[in-house]
Amino acid sequence: MLIAVRNKKKKDEVEILEVRTGKIIVKYILVLAQDGERFVPKKFRKIEDEKEITLMPKESLKLLRSDTIYISKDHFVEDILNLFINMLKSYGAKFDFISLCKFCLIDNRINTKGTPYTYRSEPICEICAKSEITKDLTYKGIKDTKLAEKLLKRYSDVDRVLMVFDPKFDPTKDSSITMYDRIDSSPLDIKIYKISDLDIFDEFKDRFLVAESAPRNDRLSCSLRKMASSRSALLAMMV
């Protein structure tokens, strides 16, 4: 498997990585020169077993045509990517796109399962995301990472997960973390009934009907007195 990544420090360099079983076996370095709307090979080097060999630029064509080149779009800016793609097309090389974890590359490995998370605004795979979280929590003296892994699945952002375990973090200022669940309200179905239609004792109906016809202040005090009286009457009936 051949994977193309761009050297950020050098605009005109593209690295072609030969990968086997998730490990980078050989690294080819293409130094490119712009020729109109495409790149052309200017220099070509091969690094294997920590030994670097300089090759003829035309030998890079054999490599590019030998297998599908998987381009890590995250490593290219648009104008450089277009020049590189135009070069591959002009040489009849097959290519496709892939999302690579840059943190895997630092450890000289390749993870082709995608980068569903972010860390420091960079795409990162699940293995590296969990590794970075474990390192940070271990430094803070926290051994249990279960909560952190749950938060990672929720937010897909390593920085946000680590923020939760910062001693200065105030959970009351982030409702998305402290909130367990949200229940949406629904319109209330309220029906208004007349006292005369209620299935209650007639004595209650009479007392409430009289209270409703009185002025507001008198009605309130009257209602309280008569409710107390009605309660006594009800208790007497029950006895």
Q: For residue 57, give the nearest of 6, 86, 95, 91 by alpha carbon.
A: 91
pLDDT digits (tens, 9 = 90+) for 121-138: 888 999 999 999 999 999
pLDDT at 41: 95
Beta strand pairing status for 51-55 and 69-72? unpaired
Residue 122: strand pairing partners? 119
Which distant-in-sequence residues (6+ apart) come within 8 Å of 227 by Cβ? 207
Instruction: At 55, give phi and psi (nearest 5°).
Output: -120, 165
Written as one string, the DSSP assignment of 25-72 is EEEEEEEEEEETTEEEEEEEEEEETTEEEEE-TTHHHHHHHHSPEEEE
The pLDDT tens digits along the chain (239 residues) read: 999 998 777 878 999 999 988 889 999 999 999 999 999 999 999 999 889 999 999 999 999 999 999 998 878 888 999 999 999 999 999 999 988 888 888 888 888 778 899 998 888 999 999 999 999 999 999 999 999 999 999 899 999 999 989 888 887 777 666 666 677 777 777 777 777 777 777 777 777 666 555 554 454 455 555 555 544 444 444 44
CB 84 within 8 A of CB 122: no
Distance CA 60, CA 44 (A): 7
Domain ranges of the chain: 2-98, 117-178, 195-238
pLDDT at 231: 47
The tokens describing 136, both together, are 């940070």
DSSP 194: -
Where b means 16+ CB within 10 Å and e means fewer, 131-160 reads ebbeebbeeeeeeebeebbebbeebebbeb
Instruction: At 81, give phi and psi (nearest 5°).
Output: -60, -45
Q: Considering only CA atoms, give the Rg of the chain.
A: 37
